[in-house]
Structure 1
Amino acid sequence: MNKVEQQNGDIKAGTPFSPEPPFTLQQLKAAIPAHCFVPSTWRSLSYFFLDIGIVAGLYAGAHYLDSWFVWPVFWLLAGTMFWALFVVGHDCGHGSFSRLKWLNNLIGHLAHTPILVPFHGWRISHRTHHNNTGNIDTDESWYPVTESKYRQMAWWEKFLRFEPVLLFAYPLYLFRRSPERPGASHFMPDSPLFRPTEKWDVITSTICCALMVGFLGFLTYQNGWLFLLKYYLGPYLVFVVWLDLVTFLHHTEPDIPWYRGKDWYFLKGALSTIDRDYGVINNIHHNIGTHVAHHIFIGIPHYHLKTATEALKPVLGDFYRCSNQPILKAFWNSYRSCHFVSDQGGLVYYRSESTIDVK
């Protein structure tokens, strides 16, 4: 995509700029090998059982060594594998794990319930995110606030949204969505996130999470709070950081466009994301960094996303965004420069707080 310069929230042409993709969704699909759209149930299951096996091995090793030199390392490794399990459940939520709906729901719950994610509640709101990516008014995750809203936000709202504490925000999001769009719990069937026909799906996942909380409570009662910290809270917090960090990085960048009203449609929104390189962790994270292809075609299993991305690049051209910046540096840059967007305009970009008084 041709680059643009931002001045006071307006888009000023640096070179001729056209936000309209010169290709269609059908042309993009035709560029991808047909096998990329076909999930292999056995291959998908192999990733799930491999992740479970690694997690079990980490728990066995940490329990055997039981040393405070080991526990922080265990938290980092196990929390990273919790995130890998989340990505497997993510495929289940999109139906790209298997063509068997009952298996997607079963594995989705087995992958998400231990990490306290209500599978159906998350699946449904995540569907909303994919259907509205890049739409300021209707996107579901990491959408920007407007300048006027930013000016009105209480200090604690800014603290939760724009300080590093945002990397621990996911549990709060599940219960309350966000300060800008409150009252939408992922656990309650009457939440505005859900349709009436989805009531029992939501209840099923909420019951599963409640049973998991009860199980953790029982273990804590039997073994004490230190046991809970060592065996669960440590890796769980690492998982939460991974989830928030990855989601933030894929949708927060100064040159990613956001749209309003008639200026938005699905393909433009799907292109409003960016691929990231997580280095040696790419495979552990099941190619979640190949986010552009995933947003365009959610039915591609994670193990075909690299092939699909390479096939799409020649067609996408400058509309394909990819960053090879070290992850922490990328987070810092976006954290410092992406605070709000202009109140008006069909095409807008993130601006920094440092520009708020520039007229």
Structure 2
Amino acid sequence: MASGFSGVNGGSSNTAATEVTVPKRAIDTNGNVFEVPDFTIKDILSAIPKECYKRDLWWSLHYVVRDIAAITLIGYVGTNYIPVWFPSSALARAAAYMVQSYLIGLFGFGLWILAHECGHSAFSDSNAVNDTVGWVLHSWWMVPYFSWKFSHSKHHKATGHMTRDMVFVPYTQKEYLEASNKSKLSELVEEAPLATLLKLIGQQLGGLQLYLATNATGQSYPGVPKFFKSHYWPTSPVFDAKDYWYIILSDIGIISTLTVNYLWYRAYGAHVVLINWFLPWLWVNHWLVFVTFLQHTDPTMPHYDAEEWSFAKGAAATIDRNFGFVGQHIFHDIIETHVLHHYCSRIPFYNARKATSAIKEVMGKHYRYEGENMWKSLWKVARSCQYVESDKSADGVYMFRNFNNVGPKPTPQT
């Protein structure tokens, strides 16, 4: 059980024989009571059926083949027949090419997710197969495979930890004010919806590349220049010394992709590369940020300091959402079963729904799910989750706050 406290509807009661400890409670961004989970990782793992852990190489590979086949078919049909179908309308051709790139981007992100499975050893029982498939697929979408694998592993080991998590580490109020170039709380007025929209567009288009290149939204590593803490730099503080040559190999994968695209451009022209790779690559960037941001940011979501954090609490600081047919069948359930993924990342995605049903019985009210339209959630989260602050009634538990009049008022700085 978590340590006792005296706070919102909380406190501890004693008997002659034992002390009853009440889990900490805090007020979330919506003004509701959040109770810190008190189950253990053993409770969670014990509930998962053993068959959920089984990894089937051929079944995993069939998804790779399926997604590549879909991308190839869409690209072939679009590139060769759109000029035939719309010979006299440049606007219609442009619209059709946009649809083509969008569809390739959907299946492209599906391939990215399969590479992500490889990084967690959920793709097969063979590390050699996992790393080979993952390196090829991630490199194609300009993500350095081993660099991502190592930093992402650290993220899983410290999800929701204010000083050890590796991505989407939230601002404190002081950091947010400084980043907004505001020295006093009174100077910061409600952020205009247009400003929120522009921030979201920048985040969705460039957020992934900024993270890879500068470790934006990760730990700050004071005194280290931005590029030297990137996912491309082999001595970045993000990695351990033993990772050096793997980071080099990751960079070789990126260079290989750029080379292939250059040769593709020389052979078939910029237009073919634009509609079949570059625009789909932008979509893959968008989907990755869209999905991961909403998996780890929500008005009901806590973060913890070092003393309060535990693996079980941190893994519960994630949320499942629903993206309909695309989420289940093209994005390989990465959205719908992410809570389970943080408790046991080696369970392959095709067994994750069954395992999710099992852990929900243990998590109870602590299992987070939001079924509203994810685009609506994106806007709500951007408006309401600007920074975190520790709830005074539950020290060590940090909840999201904002200056947009959503939920509890910000605590004035002194």
Q: What residue number does 1:303 align with?
A: 350
Query: Structure 2 counterpart of 1:205, which letter?
Result: S
Shift of residue 160, structure 1, vs aligned partner? 11
Shift of residue 250, structure 1, vs aligned partner? 0.3
Structure 1 residues 161 and 259, CA gap change in structure 2 (3 angstroms): farther
Map 1:186-335 onto structure 2 (within 5 A).
Answer: 186-281=231-326, 282-289=328-335, 290-335=337-382
Q: Which has the larger radius of gyration?
A: 2
Unaligned stretches of 5+ in structure 2?
1-22, 83-92, 182-194, 221-225
Q: Is the 8 A contact 1:2 1:318 kept in 2?
A: no
Map 1:1-359 onto structure 2 (within 5 A).
Answer: 5-6=27-28, 18-21=35-38, 23-66=39-82, 67-154=93-180, 162-168=199-205, 169-178=207-216, 181=220, 182=226, 183-281=228-326, 282-289=328-335, 290-342=337-389, 345-354=395-404, 359=412
Structure 1 residues 3 and 249, CA gap change in structure 2 (3 angstroms): farther
Query: Structure 1 counterpart of 2:53, which letter?
Result: F
What is the percent sequence identity of the aligned residues? 30
Tell me whether 297-306 or 348-357 shows the greater mean CA deviation: 348-357
Say which SS state the counterpart of residue 94 (structure 2) adopts. coil
Q: Is the 8 A contact 1:117 1:209 kept in 2?
A: yes
Q: What residue number does 2:10 align with?
A: none
Q: Is the 8 A contact 2:160 2:304 kept in 1?
A: yes
Structure 1 residues 343 and 2, CA gap change in structure 2 (3 angstroms): closer
Structure 1 residues 314 and 240, CA gap change in structure 2 (3 angstroms): same
Say which SS state the counterpart of residue 318 (structure 2) adopts. coil
Q: Is the 8 A contact 1:162 1:339 kept in 2?
A: no
For 1:236-261, what per-residue CA distance to the aligned partner results, in whole angstroms no more than 9, with x for missing partners? 11111100000010011011110011
For 1:141-164, what per-residue CA distance to the aligned partner results, in whole angstroms no more than 9, with x for missing partners? 112111001111156xx9899433
Shift of residue 45, structure 1, vs aligned partner? 0.9
Say which SS state the counterpart of residue 255 (structure 1) adopts. coil
Q: Is the 8 A contact 1:147 1:343 kept in 2?
A: no
How far apart are the structure 2 equivalents of 1:185 and 1:323?
33
Structure 1 residues 113 and 104, CA gap change in structure 2 (3 angstroms): same
How far apart are the structure 2 equivalents of 1:269 and 1:307?
22
Say which SS state the counterpart of residue 190 (structure 1) adopts. coil
Shift of residue 221, structure 1, vs aligned partner? 4.3
How far apart are the structure 1 equivalents of 2:302 and 2:340?
17
Shift of residue 303, structure 1, vs aligned partner? 0.6
Q: Is the 8 A contact 2:147 2:232 kept in 1?
A: yes
Tell me whether 27-36 or 335-344 shows the greater mean CA deviation: 335-344
For 1:306-343, what per-residue CA distance to the aligned partner results, in whole angstroms no more than 9, with x for missing partners? 00001111111001000101110111110110000126
Query: Structure 2 counterpart of 1:5, which letter?
Result: I
Say which SS state the counterpart of residue 332 (structure 1) adopts. helix
Structure 1 residues 4 and 30, CA gap change in structure 2 (3 angstroms): same
Tell me whether 209-218 or 106-115 shows the greater mean CA deviation: 209-218
Q: Is the 8 A contact 2:104 2:276 kept in 1?
A: no
Q: Is the 8 A contact 1:160 1:166 kept in 2?
A: no
Query: Structure 2 counterpart of 1:61, which letter?
Result: V
Query: Structure 1 counterpart of 2:27, which letter?
Result: E
Q: Is the 8 A contact 1:109 1:205 kept in 2?
A: yes
Say which SS state the counterpart of residue 258 (structure 1) adopts. strand
Stretches (4+) displaced over 4 A = 1-4, 158-162, 221-224, 355-358
How far apart are the structure 2 equivalents of 1:159 and 1:329?
13
Q: Is the 8 A contact 1:176 1:184 kept in 2?
A: yes
How far apart are the structure 2 equivalents of 1:329 and 1:288?
19
Tell me whether 333-342 or 223-232 shows the greater mean CA deviation: 223-232
Tell me whether 212-221 or 240-249 shows the greater mean CA deviation: 212-221
For 1:75-107, what per-residue CA distance to the aligned partner results, in whole angstroms no more than 9, with x for missing partners? 111011111001000110000111100000111
For 1:21-74, what per-residue CA distance to the aligned partner results, in whole angstroms no more than 9, with x for missing partners? 2x2212211211101112111111111111111111111111112432321111
The aligned length equals 351
Aligned-residue Cα RMSD (Å) equals: 2.4
Q: Is the 8 A contact 1:94 1:123 kept in 2?
A: yes
Q: Is the 8 A contact 2:37 2:366 kept in 1?
A: no
Q: Is the 8 A contact 1:44 1:98 kept in 2?
A: yes
Say which SS state the counterpart of residue 264 (structure 1) adopts. coil
How far apart are the structure 2 equivalents of 1:343 and 1:210?
44
Shift of residue 108, structure 1, vs aligned partner? 0.2
Shift of residue 223, structure 1, vs aligned partner? 4.6
How far apart are the structure 2 equivalents of 1:357 and 1:311?
38
